[in-house]
Homo-oligomer: A and B are copies of this chain.
Amino acid sequence: MSDTVKYLLDEQHLPKTWYNLAADLPEPPPPVLHPGTGQPVGPDDLAPLFPMALIGQEVSTDREIEIPEPIREVYRQWRPSPLYRARRLEKALDTPARIFYKYEGVSPAGSHKPNTSVAQAFYNKEEGVSRLTTETGAGQWGSSLAYAGALFGLEVEVYMVKVSYNQKPYRRALMETYGAQCYASPSDRTESGKAILAQDPDSPGSLGIAISEAVELAAQRDDTKYSLGSVLNHVLLHQTVIGTEAIEQMAMADTYPDIVIGCAGGGSNFAGLAFPFLGRKLRGGEDVRIIAAEPSACPSLTRGTFAYDFGDTGHLTPLVKMYTLGSSFVPPGFHAGGLRYHGMSGMVSHIKELGLIEAQAHHQTPCFDAATQFARTEGIVPAPESSHAIRSVFDEAEACKRDGTAKTILFNLSGHGHFDMAAYTDYFAGNLEDRDYDEGALQAALAALPQVAAE
């Protein structure tokens, strides 16, 4: 029996289509609303921010959406990504569970994010856009869009949450190596940023604030559009190559997962792995438990409210019905910067509300306990975001040991931690804080949720 087992698809198994969960839902998600009129938004409302091709994908109910060949060309550099069985980890945990992971850190930018950044850059370029603005938390998304911008000849301007900007100088260096401009958010380059700085000059920033800055700038210029790294339907759609490949790879391993796990901030890597499995289940296929793992300090799925809210702090975006902590909620600084978002993808929120998925919240220290043991057995150092998924895997594997059941667990190792080593240094030095969110701040943020007539 081999210790390392890799399931590698050859290039002819690179997916030709993205999978759209909207085609298989028992009921459609609530509409996205215009904050002024309270009416569902149409393509024209979104046109200042996104190219028409992406707006079309955002509202499509087609099950399969063709991946244009120039995008597949770029995907081929690292896709199909490997799927591994973690036999050394199984032994270390002494669990009867069988643990598999899909590894997305093989992309040039080191995470799953290029699956959508490449697609977004392609469609923007096709429609004559020359410049993209975006936000980034830990920097996985910013560096991935910077990478895609370099390939397609687009200027990229990234607003990076200030606490991460200061924690992760090497992420910034990576974006600059790809030729992008990177600014700490809140910045004084936008009205949104200036408003926050006026209230709190020491604001650590948040994804919600950074989104406001990027959206504001994109809306001002015809040659500029906005690019989002998670949350929106078209972003989640592009990530489904992960799950589509994983289904084939699990078949190569002659098995099918009982449990599928992904970490969730905005929801994109979680959805990328889980949606194709959920779609099979909804079409009458194999049953599967699906778990979203999130941080206790920013627990939108486990402690948020399912309500219409803005996607950003500056209230420039449409209203989406989602699990939210309130768009004015600023989570404490912690190391999984990609999970510091006040809300959750509308689609992921919808399936949570329908009872199709579960959610678990974890503190930092148990996540890094698991990530370190993972590194010492499987060799790959996980991103702090991915460590949340690994914590859930450990918990489920330990439950299998207690119960004597041999479940098959599949999780998404969404990225490596090479640019997050300061987090590991803090962990080894005992400097991690296992903070919860501030309950008063949460209640204030929830009290400030917008009133929406449609609800």
Contacts and interface: CB of A to CB of B under 8 A. Distances in A.
A421 interface: yes
B76 A6 contact: yes
Nearest to A372: B177
B177 A424 contact: yes
A421 B77 contact: no
A377 B153 CA distance: 10
Nearest to A150: B376
Contacts of A377: 150-151
Contact of A379 (B2, B8, B10, B151): B151
Contacts of A179: 376
Interface string A253-289: 0000000000000000000000000000000000000
Interface stretch (A60-68, A166-174, A434-442): A166-174
A173 B425 contact: yes
Given A88-B151, A150-B376, A428-B176, A77 B4 contact: yes
Chain A interface size band reads 35 or more
A422 interface: yes
Contact of A2 (B2, B8, B76): B76
Nearest to A418: B418
A369 to B, nearest CB: 12
Given A150-B377, A178-B375, A376-B150, A76 B173 contact: no
Interface in A422-454: 422, 424-425, 428
Contact of A11 (B3, B6, B173): B6
Contacts of A108: 378-381
Given A106-B106, A174-B381, A177-B375, A169 B4 contact: no
A403 interface: no
A46 interface: no
Contact of A421 (B4, B173, B416): B173
A84 B106 CA distance: 14
A419 interface: yes
A174 B170 CA distance: 15
A299 interface: no
A73 interface: yes
Interface centre among A378, A381, A416 (most CB of B within 10 A): A381
A80 to B, nearest CB: 10
Closest 3 CB pairs of A and B: A108-B379, A170-B421, A418-B418
Interface of A: 2-6, 8, 10-11, 70, 73-74, 76-77, 84, 88, 106, 108-110, 147, 150-151, 169-170, 173-174, 176-179, 372, 375-381, 416, 418-419, 421-422, 424-425, 428
7 contacts: A4-B74, A5-B76, A6-B76, A110-B418, A173-B424, A174-B418, A419-B421
Given A110-B418, A176-B428, A177-B381, 16 more contacts: A2-B73, A3-B70, A6-B77, A8-B11, A108-B378, A108-B380, A109-B379, A150-B375, A169-B421, A173-B425, A174-B418, A174-B421, A176-B425, A177-B421, A177-B428, A418-B419
